């Protein structure tokens, strides 16, 4: 067999020329192909980031060449591990799984843009023609309903469950604010009530058939994320961070929590990476990127690097997030679906 | 009596010329003198913001003139209401109160800069020569220790309590990270554990004599803020917000919670108001200011309007927040102490 792929080739070039190698990378535990950092690295570089010993790199190269030549490889693609939780019964519990993927968006740190990433990921997935739902797991600080401009209270569904509201673009949304008289009413609840609300949002809502249910979580590593990880049939977690080291330290706590609870990290998103003035000058307001560091620490791909965009703030406040379009977010959604597809 | 003060005079000018009128404004429930918005308004304007009926404005003008002329006024300065909580016994419970003021910094929304405001308020108060302590109430996402560069574990104090760590500038600090082996270790705890940690940080730590104990709270309106409001002898709350409407809506939840629990709002701080490039161009990245709106809603003064400053991010990440100096923060601290002084 002729060795066409070598350690110094750039991962992005390898997978573009030989699409069959994508599964080999992932089978060897290298998610670099869907990673904004990794894909620009060499094969050896990617292996180094993920701490491959020389013999493992050698086997990877052998398998890559085998795949490129249509031969048999030593690895078989792994299935994504699922959360260790006991799945709740769905309101309309059919024997087949009506929600294909349940993905939580977590951070540990507040204000890094979890809700924004959740909202815009949903918008991009919907544009791809997917059936998408958002469960706003931030019970005391919900922002999803406002962002999508969904108004009114949820009604009873034909099956006796709760019918979620629908955004203009057809995304199903359930958020605590829909159950309050005024959106500024506080929800002064201790942990058990928070947990029970999240469970009800999952089991009592008639979500119908969905390709993705995105669960937006509050910061911290207390009741809400614990409940979602332990009581929902979670397929994976997307971690949102910001360049600030302080944020990264707190985000690391969340990553360690997911690993302790045997959850699966789909990927990492770096938000607020920079601000670009209308004249095109870039400022790294919150410090320089930690994307590569996060990839190294989680072993999961960097799904996107997102700038601060004032236009987006305005649209979110006006409940018109679905009118926003930015290539960064379309890329994020593409990396997200690709990573999940390969994991399955 | 000659009427020297009229409704169209600017509040700032009135109090500068007649310092005795400050107590009259506050006695009438107008904190405008310490407010970045209110002080620039006319007396009538301030009264309008706080929804004064004409007869109340008339009485205010009468009292202001009386005070300016050294005469007796109809109002007596009120004492600040204290939290309705049952105060815990201090580790070294002397009959007199060793901590003069316990102030919580809250927000409802994550990532608006509570910890930053807490840290820098402490730094400015310390520069004024005050004895200051910081209780980091964000158990799952603590950032205070990192910001001040305090390292190591707290030791036993002479009284058998916990001796807080001290920053270089002499601020006493207690934060969850000091009790973990690694700062990235997650604290995967449900509500009751969180509450109990906060109570212990208050009662088991040997704070000694303090002018101010600042309590930095996590976002949300669940266990941590409930515990601080109900179980600590809280003198007041500082609310931190950002210009984004979405944030303001969630911050309103927190304001409503404080009002429901009969807490006292000392003032409001607007953070991340704008970003200034090195060339001096200003960008309102997160939308235009909501300061005036917050003042109207809380009836409390706007203690400061703070810009985004990259230099500050870098110093915080390096544990050197005490080296930072900015007039905005000195002003904030001055407004804070003035407001508290008048309330007493």
Three-class SS of residue A9?
coil
Average pLDDT, chain A: 88
Query: Does A308 sit within 8 Å of B140, measured CB to CB?
Result: no
* Residues B174, A317: Cα–Cα separation, whole Å: 37
C-alpha to C-alpha distances, A257 to A229, A273, B14, B64, B319, nearest whole angstrom? 10, 24, 56, 59, 25
Q: Work out the pLDDT band at A344, boundaries 50, 70, 90.
A: low
Query: Does A313 sit within 8 Å of B257, measured CB to CB?
Result: no
Query: Does B245 sit within 8 Å of A190, measured CB to CB?
Result: no
Query: Kindly report the CA angle at B335 between B330 and B340, in degrees rounded to 5?
Result: 130
Residue whose token pair is 């927000």: B107
Strand partners, A265: A237
**Domain segments of chain A as ranges:** 11-68, 99-326
Q: What is the pLDDT of residues B158-203, one digit of tens each?
A: 888 999 999 999 999 999 999 999 999 999 999 999 999 999 999 9
Rg (CA), chain B: 21
Fold exhibited by the domain B99-326: Rossmann fold (3.40.50)
Which residues of chain B make contact with A246, given a CB cutoff of 8 A? Answer: 143, 146-147, 313, 316-317
pLDDT at B73: 85
Q: Which two tokens stand for residue A42?
A: 């060499």
Query: Does A260 sit within 8 Å of B219, measured CB to CB?
Result: no
User: Which of B296, B302, B297 is CA-nearest to residue B266?
Assistant: B302
Q: Where are the beta strands (DSSP E) in chain B?
A: 99-106, 132-136, 155-156, 162-163, 165-166, 172-174, 210-216, 236-241, 265-270, 275-276, 282-283, 302-305
**Crossing angle for the helix pair B191-203 and A191-203, nearest 10 degrees?**
160
Interface test with B, best of A106, A186, A192 (most B CBs within 10 A): A186
Would you list which residues of B are annotated within the binding site? 108-115
* Residues B80, B101: Cα–Cα separation, whole Å: 11
Nearest to A254 among B186, B245, B252 (CB): B186
Whether residue A112 is annotated as binding a ligand: the answer is: yes
Q: What is the pLDDT of residues A267-301, one digit of tens each?
A: 999 999 999 998 999 999 988 888 888 888 888 99
* Residues B97, B87: Cα–Cα separation, whole Å: 11
Q: What is the pLDDT of residues B89-140, one digit of tens each?
A: 443 334 457 999 999 999 989 889 999 999 999 999 999 999 999 999 999 9
pLDDT at B1: 53
**Crossing angle for the helix pair A223-231 and A191-203, nearest 10 degrees?**
40
Cα torsion A114, A138, A318, B298: sign: negative
Query: Does B244 sit within 8 Å of A140, measured CB to CB?
Result: no
Which residues of chain A make contact with B187, given a CB cutoff of 8 A? Answer: 221, 253
pLDDT at A106: 96
Residue whose token pair is 């402490």: B122
Backbone angles phi, psi at B183, to 5 degrees: -65, -15
Q: Which two tokens stand for residue B314?
A: 């870098």
pLDDT at A32: 81
Q: What is the pLDDT of residues A99-129, one digit of tens each?
A: 999 999 999 898 899 999 999 999 999 999 9
Is residue B128 within 8 A of residue B340, CB to CB? The reply is no
ipTM of the assembly? 0.79
Nearest to B188 among A111, A138, A221 (CB): A221
Q: Which two tokens stand for residue B115?
A: 């910890």
**Crossing angle for the helix pair B310-317 and B114-127, nearest 10 degrees?**
80
Chain Cα centroid distance, residue A319: 22
* Average pLDDT value for residue range A32-58: 84
Residue B323 has, within 13 A of its CA and on its CB side, a CA count of: 12
Nearest to A219 among B110, B244, B246 (CB): B110
Residue B209 has, within 13 A of its CA and on its CB side, a CA count of: 3
Query: Does A141 sit within 8 Å of B220, measured CB to CB?
Result: yes
* Residues B312, B275: Cα–Cα separation, whole Å: 12
Give the burial string for A245-277 (b: 16+ CB within 10 Å, else e). Answer: bbbbbbbbbbbbbbeebebbbbbbbbbbbbbee
B196 DSSP assignment: H
Q: What is the largest CA-CA distance in chain A?
A: 70
Q: Count chain A–chain B contacts defined by CB atoms under 8 A.
A: 186
pLDDT at B32: 81
Which residues of chain A make contact with B253, given a CB cutoff of 8 A? Answer: 140-141, 184-187
pLDDT at B51: 83
Segments of chain B with pLDDT less than 70: 1-2, 77-96, 343-344
Query: Kindly report the CA angle at A158 between A152 and A163, in degrees rounded to 5?
Result: 30
pLDDT at A90: 41
Residue whose token pair is 């791809």: A128
Which residues of chain B make contact with A257, given a CB cutoff of 8 A? Answer: 186, 188
pLDDT at A80: 40
C-alpha to C-alpha distances, A144 to A223, B238, B256, B307, nearest whole angstrom? 20, 26, 20, 27
Query: Does A287 sit within 8 Å of B313, measured CB to CB?
Result: yes
Backbone angles phi, psi at A107, to 5 degrees: -150, -35
Query: Does B111 sit within 8 Å of A222, measured CB to CB?
Result: no
pLDDT at A77: 53
User: Which of B108, B200, B184 is CA-nearest to residue B145?
Assistant: B184
How far does B7 lie from chain A, in Å, by closest CA? Answer: 33
- Number of neighbouring beta carbons within 10 Å of residue A227: 23
* Residues A217, A142: Cα–Cα separation, whole Å: 9
């Amino acid at each position: 067999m002729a060795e066409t792929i070598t350690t110094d080739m750039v991962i992005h070039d390898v997978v573009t020329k030989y699409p069959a190698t994508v599964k080999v990378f992932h089978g060897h535990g290298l998610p670099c192909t869907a990673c904004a950092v990794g894909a620009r690295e060499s094969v050896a570089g990617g292996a180094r980031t993920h701490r491959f010993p020389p013999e493992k790199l050698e086997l990877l190269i052998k398998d890559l060449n085998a795949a490129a030549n249509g031969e048999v490889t030593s690895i078989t693609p792994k299935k994504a591990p699922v959360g260790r939780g006991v799945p709740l019964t769905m309101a309309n519990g059919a024997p087949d799984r009506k929600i294909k993927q349940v993905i939580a968006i977590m951070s540990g740190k507040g204000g890094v843009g979890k809700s924004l990433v959740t909202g815009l990921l949903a918008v991009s997935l919907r544009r791809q023609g997917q059936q998408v739902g958002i469960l706003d797991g931030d019970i005391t600080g919900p922002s999803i309903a406002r962002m999508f401009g969904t108004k009114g209270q949820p009604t009873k569904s034909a099956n006796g469950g709760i019918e979620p509201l629908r955004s203009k673009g057809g995304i199903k949304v359930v958020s605590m604010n829909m159950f309050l008289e005024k959106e500024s009413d506080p929800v002064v609840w201790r942990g058990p009530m928070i947990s029970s609300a999240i469970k009800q949002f999952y089991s009592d809502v008639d979500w119908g058939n969905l390709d993705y249910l995105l669960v937006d979580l509050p910061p911290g590593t207390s009741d809400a994320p614990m409940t979602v990880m332990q009581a929902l049939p979670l397929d994976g977690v997307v971690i949102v961070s910001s360049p600030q080291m302080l944020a990264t330290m707190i985000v690391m706590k969340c990553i360690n929590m997911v690993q302790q609870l045997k959850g699966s990290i789909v990927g990492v998103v770096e938000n607020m990476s920079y601000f670009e003035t209308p004249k095109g000058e870039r400022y790294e307001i919150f410090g320089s990127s930690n994307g590569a560091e996060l990839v190294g620490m989680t072993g999961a791909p960097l799904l996107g690097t997102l700038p601060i965009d004032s236009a987006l703030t305005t649209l979110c406040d006006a409940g018109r997030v679905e009118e926003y379009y930015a290539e960064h977010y379309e890329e994020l959604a593409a990396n997200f679906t690709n990573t999940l597809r390969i994991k399955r």
